[in-house]
Amino acid sequence: MVDFNRFTLANGLRVLVHEDDTTPMAVLNILYDVGARDEEQDKTGFAHLFEHLMFGGSVNIPSYDEPLQRVGGENNAFTSNDITNYYITLPATNLETAFWLESDRMLSLAFSEKSLETQRNVVCEEFKQRYLNQPYGDVWLKLRPLAYKEHPYRWATIGQDLKQIEEAKMEDVKAFFKKHYHPQNAIMVVGGNVKTEEVKALAEKWFAAIPAGEPIERNLPVEPKQTEARVETVVAEVPLNAIYMAFQMPDRADKNYQVYDLMSDILSQGQSSRLYNSLLKEQQLFSDIHAYLTGSIDQGLFIVEGKLVEGVTMEAAEAAIWKELNAIATEEVTVDELTKVKNKSESIIVFAEMSLLDKAMNLAYYELLGDANMLNREIDKYHEVTSSRILEVAKQTFVKEQSSILYYLTAQDA
Amino acid sequence: MLNRTLAPESKQVDEINFIEPLKQQLDNGIPVFTINAGKQELVRIEFIFENVNWDQNKPLQAVTVSHLINNGTAKLTAKDIAEKVDYYGAFLQTEYGADQSSVKVYTLNKHLGAVLPILQAILNESVFPQQELDIYVQNQKQSLQVSLQKNDFLARKHFAHAIFGDSSYGSNINAADYEAIQQADLLSYFKAAYKPENCTIIVAGKFEQPEFDLLNGVLGKAWNNNDKSVVNKFEFTKGTAGEILIEKPEAIQSAIRMGGLAITRKHKDFPGFQVMNCLLGGYFGSRLMANIREDKGYTYGIGSAIVSLKDAGYFFIATEVGVEVCNNTLIEIEKEIDLLKSELVSEAELNLVRNYMLGSMLGSLENAFSHADKFKNAYFSGLDYTYYDNYIETVKTISPEDLKQLANQYLNTADFTKVIVGKK
């Protein structure tokens, strides 16, 4: 159970406070409701590049990191296809420094050319390090455009290619800031050794004067229901053949989201899971096999991916995956198996409460989904899942016509 | 009117409270250290075993035992074990480290009674079935093939081997080492290492007398294993200095890793070394990050670290950079090290690092698990909590002169091993 208080400033900034006096630390987490899905298709990778620029100094404060480190704090941020999330942890006695820094960069950035130049390079190196200079590193650059044809999830957070990042201009940066970085588009969570009244006073002091900004109407294309199987083959200098299968699934708020999550657990959570036992241990077709959800806010993907044991044919490997997917779509899971994955979900939720930062991030994310209280009701949704719902959902999902399959082949076999 | 150019008032962290563990003992003599803290009804129990009987001809003996210990006992198959653990929502992890191997379980308190007997079975009756070993060898070989295509992996591997040779810290594992693993070697290692006299238990979470009694009831009796063992002990002389270049013509980034043997946590200079390391490459605002990432944009990240193992410490700098700026990066790293050796750090920069490190220490004591981890760091280095008092005092008081002297004493780049994987 993660308790919290909630209030909204006149400019629309939503603030949540989680008091936890077992720690001497505080966390200030700001989620901006902007991600790669909000980019234009000729300016992809921008939300993430912008995240880097948020550390390049703000209108009144030339350096963001230095004053924070000076008071014993640390910070970081991440960008996903849906959101951009910034967080600070620091000794609670120095909480006001976090308000000072975060409010100034919500007010306005320094927009320095030097910072833009450097961060373009840094992001290009990040692109190379994570996506290009790694075996299988570009899988998501290939799989996304295969599985999505309309929705902007068809590109990865890092962007479609290096070129679009290299071409980012200061005017784009300014326009992006004006549109997305303002109180109405943000959710702030303050947690740790803090009091709600103190947070209220600090929020008023530092954030109340920031102009509300224009509300954003998000009008993203809906990904149409897939009716034909899609297949792509990539040949690369990798040591092992691999397969990546993506199935369309509903959005995060859908009533069946937890059913999908439990399905992925039945297939792939831990060493008692079906894919691990059947495909890796018994049939020895894969040296590595996983099923998981992308967990996106709009329509997501259910992924099955694996690396084949040398000598196993792709046909045999794929057929064996389909057999497991068909099994979950034709036979109800047993009471024990369902209890097992529910117990595991409960554990994961309780263990996540050990970390102050995780709690703060989760509160912000669930507030974005509609109500932070849903975080505390999540476990009930898992408990309510029945084996007949799993059967029904699996039947609708694991259909050839709704699959996108990427065969990633080693150059030696091609 | 609010003046946004002025930083709010702040305080240096002055009080850092460590939770020291309660020491108890099971009936069979295993020491149990408990950090009983936290609001959640959960617990982590670690069974930690010293690594023993090192044989450089069988470098994978201990790590394979660690991996396969939950893969079958006389009565339970690997799947039975996994089913039972998962059914109770518990997490069973095995970990092989440079000096110790551990079996740890995370569980909600309400399932503790059901989970402990599984641990008892694993720790006493593992049989390492040939079938499981075969699957393990096949999959590890495949996974190694993938890792060998990663430049940073290759850099780590060659660096470790250059400074630690064929000891367990540095052994240069290849596919043939996996093929050579014999079931009998696993059993003999298991019998020698996984026994009460070689075991320490560390508990963190909600754990009071009834829970202790439960633990003692299940794991406090005599265990099956009792073979002779000698705890690993290594001595190192200066490793191979100089450059190791592993060329990858198709690389678009090069991985760089450089450094050498250094001191361990037990050495009086260790906390000072940590401050010096922090300045150079130990945090986001460090000199290496400020210069090579934030000013030049050569890399996504660069850092340095000092690592303390039981029988040796080592220092390294690591990064991945665009191949066209690899040489420039090496030059800039040298420059930053020279600067530390030739010029005194300013009070402003040093104060920032002091505050950052104290805040970081405070923040690293977030919950029962992290308090237990702090205890382990000291305990397995043969130290007690005075180590942390000394650390905090050093961070608060070390002088610019001391840091310059430490840099001159310990950062001799001529003695460094320098590994570059990619192109230069």
Inform me whether the C-beta atom of residue A351 falls under 8 Å from chain B C-beta atoms. yes
Chain A nearest-CA residue for B371: A23
What is residue B39's predicted lDDT score, i.e. its pLDDT?
85
Tell me the one-letter amino acid at B262: A
What is residue B411's predicted lDDT score, i.e. its pLDDT?
97
How deeply is A205 buried, as exposed, middle or buried, from its count of CB atoms within 10 A (0-12, 13-18, 19+)?
middle
Judged by CB atoms closer than 8 Å, whether chains meet at B138 and A309 is answered as yes
Cβ contact B32:B24 at 8 Å? yes
Interface of B with A in 166-225 (CB under 8 A): none
Inform me whether the C-beta atom of residue B5 falls under 8 Å from chain A C-beta atoms. yes
From the CA of B191, how many Å to the nearest CA of chain A?
25
Closest Cβ opposite residue A25 in set B37, B251, B366: B366
Q: Which of B219, B252, B272 is the last residue of a domain?
A: B219
What does the mean pLDDT of chain A come to? Answer: 96
Interface of B with A in 141-170 (CB under 8 A): 142-143, 145-146, 148-151
Q: Are residues B99 and B247 in the same domain?
A: no
Q: Are residues B96 and B151 in the same domain?
A: yes
Tell me the one-letter amino acid at B94: T
**What's the number of CA atoms in the CB half-sphere (13 Å) around residue B184?**
1
The total number of structural domains in chain B stands at 2
Give the whole-angstrom CA distance, residue B341 versus residue B333. 13
Predicted TM-score (pTM) of the model is 0.94
Q: Helix (H, G, I), strand (E, B), or coil: what is residue A53?
A: helix
Q: Judge whether B293 lies within some domain.
A: yes
CATH number at residue B81: 3.30.830.10
B198-213 confidence digits (pLDDT tens):
999 999 999 999 999 9
Q: Judge whether B4 lies within some domain.
A: no
Q: Judge whether B233 lies within some domain.
A: no
Q: Are residues B213 and B269 in the same domain?
A: no
Q: Judge whether B92 lies within some domain.
A: yes
A290-347 confidence digits (pLDDT tens):
999 999 999 999 999 999 999 999 999 999 999 999 999 999 999 999 999 999 999 9
What is residue B237's predicted lDDT score, i.e. its pLDDT?
87
Torsion sign over Cα B348, B354, B359, B363: positive
Give the whole-angstrom CA distance, residue A139 versus residue A148. 14
Which stretches of A11-73 are assigned E, i.e. beta strand?
A: 14-19, 25-32
How deeply is A237 buried, as exposed, middle or buried, from its count of CB atoms within 10 A (0-12, 13-18, 19+)?
exposed
How deeply is A337 buried, as exposed, middle or buried, from its count of CB atoms within 10 A (0-12, 13-18, 19+)?
buried
Tell me the backbone φ, ψ of residue B244, rounded to 5 degrees. -115, 115
Judged by CB atoms closer than 8 Å, whether chains meet at B78 and A91 is answered as no
Interface mutation vs chain A, best among B356, B360, B392, B423, most A CBs within 10 Å: B356
Interface of B with A in 103-132 (CB under 8 A): 106-108, 111
What is residue A18's predicted lDDT score, i.e. its pLDDT?
98
The stretches in chain B having pLDDT less than 50 are: none
Q: Which of B171, B187, B219 is the last residue of a domain?
A: B219
What is the mean predicted confidence (pLDDT) over A193-217? 97
Q: Judge whether B10 lies within some domain.
A: no
Domains in chain A (CATH in brackets) are 5-207 (3.30.830.10), 230-410 (3.30.830.10)
Chain A nearest-CA residue for B278: A69
Cβ contact A157:A79 at 8 Å? yes
Q: Residue A154 above 60 pLDDT?
A: yes
H and E: helices and strands count for chain A: 15, 11
Residues of A in contact with B360 (CB under 8 A): 72, 74
Q: Are residues B198 and B310 in the same domain?
A: no
**A307: which strand partners?**
A242, A288
What is residue B1's predicted lDDT score, i.e. its pLDDT?
82
Structure tokens at B404: 């310059």
A383-400 confidence digits (pLDDT tens):
999 999 999 999 999 999
Give the residue numbers spanning the domain of B99.
22-219
Q: Helix (H, G, I), strand (E, B), or coil: what is residue A310?
A: coil
Interface mutation vs chain B, best among A20, A78, A125, most B CBs within 10 Å: A125
Check residue A249 and report its DSSP letter. E
ipTM above 0.85?
yes
Give the whole-angstrom CA distance, residue B7 versus residue B10. 8
Structure tokens at B51: 């690594």
Q: Are residues B274 and B209 in the same domain?
A: no
Cβ contact A46:A166 at 8 Å? no
* HEC secondary structure over chain B: CCCCCCCCCCCCCCCCCCCCCEEEECCCCCEEEEEECCCCCEEEEEEEEECECCCCCCCCHHHHHHHHCCCEECCCEHHHHHHHHHHCCCEEEEEECCCEEEEEEEEEHHHHHHHHHHHHHHHHHECCCHHHHHHHHHHHHHHHHHHCCCHHHHHHHHHHHHHHCCCCCCCCCCHHHHHCCCHHHHHHHHHHHCCHHHEEEEEEECCCHHHHHHHHHHHCCCCCCCCCCCECCCCCCCCCCEEEEEECCCCCEEEEEEEEEECCCCCCCHHHHHHHHHHHHHCCCCHHHHHHHHHCCCEEEEEEEEEECCCCEEEEEEEEEEHHHHHHHHHHHHHHHHHHHHCCCCHHHHHHHHHHHHHHHHHCCCCHHHHHHHHHHHHCCCCCCHHHHHHHHHHHHCCHHHHHHHHHHHCCHHHCEEEEEECC
Q: Judge whether B234 lies within some domain.
A: no
**A84: which strand partners?**
A32, A79
Q: Are residues B410 and B367 in the same domain?
A: yes
Judged by CB atoms closer than 8 Å, whether chains meet at B10 and A94 is answered as yes
| CA distances (Å), origin A175, targets A19, A110, A373, A378, B198 | 37, 14, 34, 37, 63
What is residue B235's predicted lDDT score, i.e. its pLDDT?
94
Q: How confident is the model at residue A414 (pLDDT cuts 50, 70, 90)?
A: low
What is the mean predicted confidence (pLDDT) over A256-263? 98
| CA distances (Å), origin B148, targets A369, B139, B152, B216 | 42, 14, 9, 45
What is residue A360's predicted lDDT score, i.e. its pLDDT?
98
Cβ contact B188:B71 at 8 Å? no
Q: Are residues B183 and B288 in the same domain?
A: no
What is residue A26's predicted lDDT score, i.e. its pLDDT?
97
What is residue A231's predicted lDDT score, i.e. its pLDDT?
98
Closest Cβ opposite residue B7 in set A100, A336, A344: A100
Q: Judge whether B187 lies within some domain.
A: yes
Q: Are residues B166 and B294 in the same domain?
A: no
Interface mutation vs chain A, best among B43, B71, B108, B145, most A CBs within 10 Å: B145
What is residue B241's predicted lDDT score, i.e. its pLDDT?
83
Q: Are residues B106 and B64 in the same domain?
A: yes
Q: Which of B204, B219, B234 is the last residue of a domain?
A: B219
Q: Are residues B157 and B106 in the same domain?
A: yes
Q: Are residues B177 and B307 in the same domain?
A: no
Inform me whether the C-beta atom of residue B249 falls under 8 Å from chain A C-beta atoms. no
Judged by CB atoms closer than 8 Å, whether chains meet at A347 and B107 is answered as yes
Q: Judge whether B380 lies within some domain.
A: yes
From the CA of B204, how many Å to the nearest CA of chain A?
12
Please identify which residue in the block is written with the tokens 């670290």.
B305
Cβ contact A203:A36 at 8 Å? no
Q: Are residues B336 and B375 in the same domain?
A: yes
Helices (H), A208-334: 257-268, 274-275, 314-330
